Amino acid sequence: MPLVRIDLVRGRDPEQLRTLLDTVHEAMVAAFGVPETDRYQVLTQHEPGDLIALDTDLGFARTDDLVLLQFTSRERTDEAKTELYRRLAVDLHERCGLAPSDLVVTLVENGPADWSFGGGVAQFVTGDL
């Protein structure tokens, strides 16, 4: 059920993109305990120079490998969020070669009435989900 928006600089090949998408999904499933079939991802590729993420004075060295992830999800515990951030940094580094300093993650929470998966119905409200 989480919706994941993935922003990155254009230049990765289709196999690299698929590995990145799969890795993000697997980390989310493990950290949040959602079913594997809850997969909603939007990938946007930007031209070099169109994606800017400074280091907020934390000393991170950013490169054009930068990946910004925005999760829209129902409320999650601080422990689940922390586990998601940790898994993403470790797994994306291991599987995609992404430096942890090139990963920015944000989570936007919403409620049951904020989702409709089709048919004009709020399935969490109606009890269908």
Side chain identity at residue 32, one-letter code: F
Dihedral in degrees, nearest 10, Cα atoms 49, 63, 96, 1:
-60
Helix (H, G, I), strand (E, B) or coil at 94: helix
In the numeric block, which tokens belong to residue 89?
Answer: 């940094």
Give the helix/strand (H/E) hosting 126: helix 123-126
Alpha-carbon distance of 89 to 95, in angstroms, equals 10
| Residues, the chain | 129
Q: Catalytic: which of 2, 14, 35, 100? A: 2
- Asked about 48 being catalytic, the answer comes back as no
The set of catalytic residues is: 2
